[in-house]
Structure 1
Amino acid sequence: MSLLSSIRRWPPLNQWAERLDQWRFGTVDSTGPIGLRGEQAAARLLRKKGLVIVAANESDRAGEIDLIAADRKSRSIIFVEVKTLQTTKPGHPAERVDENKQRRITQAALRFLKRRRLLGTRCRFDVVAIWWPNPEGQPDRIDHYEAAFEAIGDHQLWA
């Protein structure tokens, strides 16, 4: 008998393992708005991949960035746009990150790097797409697209 099967057979140990998982990677508030739940689920996914969440909902006059993460291995900063769809209509959530949205994210990222004096730091732009048709349950599918787009606009990032 494997350890995993013994954990599943003994409910108190299974509950303990679930609480440990929530403590390490965060929880998702099932009563919050769909956008907030999507961002929490995306942050949880990124933490499981070994990234450190630096900021959430970072905004200024240039625009808003849903999540900002740091990758210790590659020593880079990752700007993450989260798109959550609750409908069953055809279409991919990542398609909603159009050129205008990419331009606003690029400008907000540049201002973030300037404020923190991190202009020489490597960075990339990711998109996390989430399908969440049932508001009471868990997301049906989460896709993480690393380096989903390049910096665009008049003030591109060069590092």
Structure 2
Amino acid sequence: MLFFRGKGRPSTRCVGKRGERAAARMLRRRGYRVLARNQRLHFGELDLVCLAPDRREVVFVEVKALHRGGGTGAGRFRPEDHVDRDKRRRLVALSRAWLGQRGWQSRHWRIDVVAVEFAVGVRRPTIRHHERAVP
């Protein structure tokens, strides 16, 4: 269920939560194991923490979701384009801190980005998984 604000648009928070659920489902179908969601640390939050299908690599997933309501702005940008240099730096720091809290500093890890786009009149979202999106 989407909660709407003003002119029939869903709230940003609602779109984000729905995007995280869709991303987690897609990753599970591909063999990932979701270890944690919405992991808050003192300087930010990790959307999803997973184990890769081979169970050897910890995967930190940044989910970017967007609701396209049609109109002239549709198609101008992709949600994943919003992971800028500052966000990438923060994700690296958050990932290292999360691993450090668990004594997993020696584990192999990576940061992926999953983009989820919802569109008016379309039942299923478009989902794009970018592995190793943050070097």
What TM-score, normalized to structure 2? Answer: 0.82
Give the corresponding residue for 2:39. 58
- Letter paired with 1:91: F
Q: Any stretches of 5+ residues in structure 2 without a counterpart?
A: 4-13, 69-73
% identical equivalent positions: 35
Is contact 1:78-1:124 (8 Å) kept?
yes
SS of 2:115 mapped into structure 1: strand
1:69-102: CA deviation from partner (whole Å, max 9, x where unpaired): 0125150100000001113241111110001111
- Letter paired with 2:134: F
Runs in 1 of length 4+ with deviation above 6 angstroms? none
Is contact 1:63-1:107 (8 Å) kept?
no
Give the corresponding residue for 1:102. 88
Give the structure with higher Rg (CA). 1
Give the distance between the partners of 1:130 and 1:142, measured in 2 at CA. Answer: 5
Whether 2:21 is the aligned partner of 1:40: answer: yes
SS of 1:86 mapped into structure 2: strand
SS of 1:106 mapped into structure 2: helix
Is contact 2:79-2:116 (8 Å) kept?
yes
Higher helix share: 1
Please provide the CA RMSD for this pair: 1.7
Instruction: Work out which structure has the larger RCO, using CA pairs closer than 8 Å and 6 or more positions apart in sequence.
Output: 2
Give the corresponding residue for 1:83. 64
Structure 1 residues 72 and 84: alpha-carbon distance in aligned structure 2, compared to 1, 3 A threshold: closer
Higher strand share: 2
Give the distance between the partners of 1:135 and 1:113, measured in 2 at CA. Answer: 41
Whether 2:134 is the aligned partner of 1:149: answer: yes
User: Of 35, 38, 49, which residue of structure 1 is paired with 2:30?
Assistant: 49
SS of 1:36 mapped into structure 2: helix
What TM-score, normalized to structure 1? Answer: 0.70
Q: Any stretches of 5+ residues in structure 1 without a counterpart?
A: 1-29, 151-159
Give the distance between the partners of 2:48 and 2:118, measured in 1 at CA. Answer: 19
Whether 2:121 is the aligned partner of 1:111: answer: no
Give the distance between the partners of 1:58 and 1:64, measured in 2 at CA. Answer: 5
